[in-house]
Amino acid sequence: MSQTIFLVDMESFYASIEVARSPQYKGKPLVVSGDPNRRSGVILAASKEAKHYGVKNAERLWEAQQKCAHLIIVPPHMQDYIHASMEITSILKAFTDLVEPYSIDEQFMDVTHSQRLFGTPIEMAKQVQQQIWNKFRVRARVGIGENKILAKLACDNFAKKKEDGIFELRADQLKDTLWPLPVENLFGVGHRMKEHLYNRGIRTIGQLAQTKVDFFKKRWGIHGQVLWMSAQGVDYSPVKLSTHEGQKAIGHGMTLPYDYASLEDIHVVILELCEEVCHRARRNHVQGFTVTLGVSGASYEMHTGFHRQYKMPYETNSAPTLYKYACQLLDQFWDGLPVRRINVSLSSLSSDEAVQLDLFDYQQQQEDRELGKTMDLIRERYGKTAVLRASSLLPAGQARERAAKIGGHYK
């Protein structure tokens, strides 16, 4: 029996949940968006009716309102979406124990050995769709393939455009189905990669697939080889229960409520991000050698900012240490222009059971480690804002407001 993989994708997930809980919105152009008076006013999800007016996910709210003056704007309810996603996972696990959440609204299923119980892949896909619809009134699209990349490509390029929302993409059909599509339809080809490929005369997925793999390996290394393999429909990765094990970095970022122009204000946010990153590192019992700082400028028209990293003298999961070296990157690379977004990450991870001590900073290292653990215990028991750095009480601080949110949006 050949392997059979599903990618189950929820149509306009956040918007569909909002319509299901408020039936008066059914059939109307609706978007789920952050606060329109703040920079978080970005479209997170748009209903089918809103997309009919050209509204797209990730565009700014004011741009969407220009396309559709009577657009219904609903704030996100992240806790509800997370709960629904977990419930959908439970539905899928009734068909197979091999379910891998790919995102909040996409999940892989290996149904290879479930067909004797639930019928053919098409029959099983219809059952999955019906059960999700019955419980949440959310339409699911199902891409079917012999591996994960074929299931993903089937869903993104074909199932989403079909009335029944189901499409099976077979490796022996790629020449007639997938290869004629524009190269940007291939998973993993973003805007910049599209430009690189177009400049080399590669306009379709078929042209990419028929180019020698050595060309891609020489130009883009492993990423280039993976793109070539994807165009060929080749993917050896199994559906795993532990998608996020062995992560290579721990990061946290935020879009600021207004443009930060002073060094002192930016320092406040960097310290808060370092606190969050190190808390997550300690929770996962890891520490890291490399700090990365990303800063995006405030202008949408002229892209400014930087993304730099620094290898610290020793591994750490202590916020003061991470903050120290993140600030050094800021001092070295910041151009002084107003800042819109800041991101901090810790990489080159290893277990924190063994600690490399600094000969000249041993006492401070020990104190920072114990302080971090104590703060973790207090926050876990009494909440994220039970203990804060004094700087978070300044006007630039965002820790208290972020504590009331999930993924940057209110619960």
d(CA 341, CA 395): 17
**97 and 90 in contact (C-beta within 8 Å)?**
no
Residue of 106, 146, 275, 276 marked active site = 106
d(CA 75, CA 77): 7
**Site of tokens 């900012």:** 305
d(CA 27, CA 354): 58
Sheet-wide strand order for 140-145: 99-103, 106-110, 5-10, 140-145, 166-169
Beta bridge partners of 7: 108, 143
Residue of 325, 327, 322, 328 whose CA lies nearest to 369:
322
Residue set of the binding site? 9, 105
| Whether 301 is catalytic | no
What is the per-residue DSSP string for 40-106? Answer: T-BEEEE-HHHHHTT--TTSBHHHHHHH-TT-EEE---HHHHHHHHHHHHHHHHTT-S-EEEEETTE
d(CA 348, CA 341): 24
Residue set of the binding site for Mg(2+)? 9, 105
Residue of 85, 114, 112 whose CA lies nearest to 101:
85
- Active-site residues, by number, are 106
